[in-house]
Amino acid sequence: MAQPQAQPNYQRLADAFTTASEECSRLPNIPAINNSQTLVDLIGQLRDEMGQLRDELRQSATRTTERFDSLQANITIIQTDISAIHTRLDAR
């Protein structure tokens, strides 16, 4: 013989919907939702600052490359001078 199926407890169901409704009404109190524009603004500021840092790093890298190029040119000149000195000394 089949067991009769349990009937829903409508009072518990109504209470559950009431609880869910009350909790949903509190969602705007979550800072991430309530202050979403503040978060968006902060993220925008971070993005801008990261962009500035990126630009500064690029400029620094360019200056460093220019300095290395200048040092390399100076080294080449010194090597040429040393070779010329060796040539003159060998000619004696």
pLDDT at 64: 92
d(CA 39, CA 34): 10
d(CA 58, CA 64): 10
pLDDT at 79: 96
11-67 pLDDT, tens digit each: 888 888 888 888 888 777 666 665 677 777 888 999 999 999 999 999 999 999 999
pLDDT at 78: 96
Asked whether 19 and 26 are in contact (CB, 8 A), the reply is no
What residue segments make up the domains of the chain, in order of their start?
A: 31-91
CA distances from 77 to 16, 50, 74, 85 (A): 86, 40, 5, 12
Taking the alpha carbons of 68, 71, 76, 82 in that order, is the dihedral positive or negative? negative
State which amino acid sits at residue 44.
G
